[in-house]
Structure 1
């Protein structure tokens, strides 16, 4: 079976529907084959990754032809876009041209949804490059993660097993089509499993509710912001009561949102963990225990370890923080044209350094504390994860946003400082609230109430600006 699954299962349902426009599976593959005819032989192809049916057909066509695709965010600025095109050596641009002209760039090739081709394409060798996805990195230019057909198939099959994902499911989401979550899981995962995909264009609560009612959605993907908005819209949340599984990822789900969705939809979302270089490696199973803030256990074919600064395993006690490292079939091949960066992210014995701090308990469940570089605070001899403190703050009803950092302290080494967007609550009350939920050494020494938190273009909080 190719990465996309069989070309025609005789299923007369729409295989993919995006913003109300759909194609059956046979139509999708015939349109993708027309794209494959056009791009075959190219070294790499950029795809204007808007949330449209054209993007799905373009990506599928590249996969059929064995040409690495490079998803380009539709809101990328000229400098970022130029870097992606230059670094990947993309020869073609699939989709409408960007608002700013491509200077000395690839040839622009429109995607015609009405085009059909009867060409047949053999499954690609597993080790071939399927996609080059650029990381959003916190420093320097984005790096191209080289992803093979083998790794992508392993990740999707592992999740299908964990989530009991079958052709009987109908997946619903409205996530961007240039990230692992929205594109690889949310499009290729559905095609490989043979389950229809309904992409809502944007992840609005009312659109998710409509997809549940009109399309019989059984599996819903969202990020914490999506689930927070759904929890704040009780009618939409209740409409998801017929779903089989709700999935949250890309960041920690606040405990209050976990509880609110559970109360309204009849079940809380399962959480999972991954990154561009590893895809999804750890997930709560469909039949597994659901705990707010815990992302579950490794999927099939993946191994994890949590180690201290000396590289020794930390206790599986659910409390001791260490460096999360990954081995397994879902790993990327390396960073395009950057052998030094590729070597630096692997240990001497072949494990991938995620750069994330985590804890693991005796049952094999993981909780992600945050990035080691910005979210691991060493205070008074203790290691404290900023994410755990942020989750406790977000559990307060007056708190809308929170970011926790460690600032230099002559006595403690680092002191825990929280920057909080909240409504009519005193800083001292928030410190006391955290103290009722976490150990005393984890409470913020200082809470600074602010109007907004600084974020980058991807919506991530820029903690380096919190001083």
Structure 2
């Protein structure tokens, strides 16, 4: 069973699932989802207008019960992206909360809309769909064109959640707290389906505000670096997390200063992990193991990784030599929806998935992600420079709050290191000198742009392609 917590074996806790001000027992959730599953059964796929609401949880569970692929749609997606996802996935219905029906965000939608009723009830006992059937069709961010659909099977989700339960010592006694969007792997698969598979309670705070995290009283917290940075900026809220068992960070690298400050305020070293839409979570630090700032851990159960250089040869695990990270395991998807050319580019002939991320791996198997091969590996004057190393050097400056580094075209060097920095009190010259004093001089930024903010997506990842003008 994909969601054992709905089997009735975990009791009838009236607040087992909380989303904002909405509360439901597992029994109530199962009954409402079954009623909706009866309505959508037989559809090729259904889309879900994935707001932070109980209706989204009901709709996703309904699709899983009915064996109908669920397509989460970001409620802040523009009309072009929204319509592309609905059309590309062939979603027969769009499931929406009552609060969203008839709003401007849904204007022009041609897909039939069904309002989700979390108060609906129906008898349970639907047969379990086949493990290899598609559970979710998750769309990538589309940084290199229109978003691509990644079908993820029930078997892949189960394998990944079980591996994470092992890595994080996640049990039914935990209370999971997060406020992440419910249209991505982090917030939906880990943050909702994870709780329903493990049997832990779930508190979704609506938004990931520091004060909401502090008030939730959880034992296990999920956040992205932006969330943890804001928690650190609110010391009283951060200190309230000292009673938590585990703080997990993912979706983007956790800056070293944030790692240190979070540890100082909470007494808990955060656990970092690594994954993608296409692979779910493949690498993580463990609850019962060490934590290394700047590293995302070791492969979870069932996962194999390797590094491959530009020449196609495998790169040694010396902790220094970078290569493209390739993975394989039971949680890796089988290929994109309607994209055979993308599949050919993304998988090696011997079945490894090319992540497109540059990493190093040491002799103990610890992985350090250096960034995207396409934008975070800068080739300047014959040197290969990882943008993340330069960003961490900048963030060590007491006046720097945020930093993003890219390679911009240069007639002599090929590329030059260019930084975009949000700083309270620092000049371009001071920051260049500061970095040159901490890491190799050839890695220093040649230019530093002081900006008010960095462009980010819904998960807090910096959109470097919007900075690429140099």
Q: TM-score, normalised by structure 1?
A: 0.95
Aligned residues: 463
How far the C-alpha of 1:18 sits from its partner, in A, is: 0.6
Structure 1: gaps (5+ residues): none
How far the C-alpha of 1:296 sits from its partner, in A, is: 0.2
How far the C-alpha of 1:2 sits from its partner, in A, is: 2.7
Counterparts of 1:425-436 in structure 2, within 5 Å, are: 425-436=426-437
Partners in 1 of 2:336 and 2:320 — Cα distance? Answer: 33
Partners in 2 of 1:113 and 1:277 — Cα distance? Answer: 30
Q: Which stretch shows the higher mean deviation, 30-39 or 184-193?
A: 30-39
Asked whether the 8 Å contact 2:35–2:121 carries over to 1, the reply is: yes
Partner of 1:57: 58
Partner of 2:89: 88
Partners in 2 of 1:195 and 1:153 — Cα distance? Answer: 15
Partners in 1 of 2:262 and 2:459 — Cα distance? Answer: 25
Alignment deviations for residues 294-321 of structure 1 (CA, whole Å, 9 cap, x no partner)? 1001100111111101221222122211
Alignment deviations for residues 274-309 of structure 1 (CA, whole Å, 9 cap, x no partner)? 110001111111122112211001100111111101
Equivalent of residue 208 in structure 1, options 210, 213, 222? 213
Alignment deviations for residues 97-139 of structure 1 (CA, whole Å, 9 cap, x no partner)? 3524454622221111111111312222111011101111212
Asked whether the 8 Å contact 1:70–1:132 carries over to 2, the reply is: yes
Asked whether the 8 Å contact 2:137–2:152 carries over to 1, the reply is: yes
Partner of 1:313: 314
Asked whether the 8 Å contact 1:273–1:281 carries over to 2, the reply is: yes
Partners in 2 of 1:323 and 1:418 — Cα distance? Answer: 23
Matched, 1:21 2:26: no
Q: SS at the partner of 1:17?
A: strand
User: C-alpha root-mean-square deviation of aligned residues, in Å?
Assistant: 1.6
Partners in 1 of 2:451 and 2:206 — Cα distance? Answer: 32
Asked whether the 8 Å contact 1:405–1:466 carries over to 2, the reply is: no
Counterparts of 1:29-48 in structure 2, within 5 Å, are: 29-48=30-49
Partners in 2 of 1:66 and 1:130 — Cα distance? Answer: 7
* C-alpha spacing 1:272/1:133, structure 2 compared with 1 (3 Å): same
Partners in 2 of 1:93 and 1:410 — Cα distance? Answer: 51
Q: SS at the partner of 2:2?
A: coil
How far the C-alpha of 1:364 sits from its partner, in A, is: 0.4
Matched, 1:118 2:120: no
Q: Which stretch shows the higher mean deviation, 449-458 or 335-344?
A: 449-458
Partner of 1:466: 469
Partners in 2 of 1:278 and 1:409 — Cα distance? Answer: 35
* C-alpha spacing 1:319/1:105, structure 2 compared with 1 (3 Å): same
Partner of 2:191: 186
Q: Which stretch shows the higher mean deviation, 78-87 or 309-318?
A: 309-318
How far the C-alpha of 1:457 sits from its partner, in A, is: 6.8
Structure 2: gaps (5+ residues): none
Q: TM-score, normalised by structure 2?
A: 0.95
Q: Which stretch shows the higher mean deviation, 434-443 or 341-350?
A: 434-443
* C-alpha spacing 1:104/1:177, structure 2 compared with 1 (3 Å): closer
Partner of 2:290: 289
Partners in 1 of 2:3 and 2:303 — Cα distance? Answer: 19
Alignment deviations for residues 78-103 of structure 1 (CA, whole Å, 9 cap, x no partner)? 11111111111111111133524454
Matched, 1:105 2:85: no
Q: Which stretch shows the higher mean deviation, 95-104 or 147-156?
A: 95-104
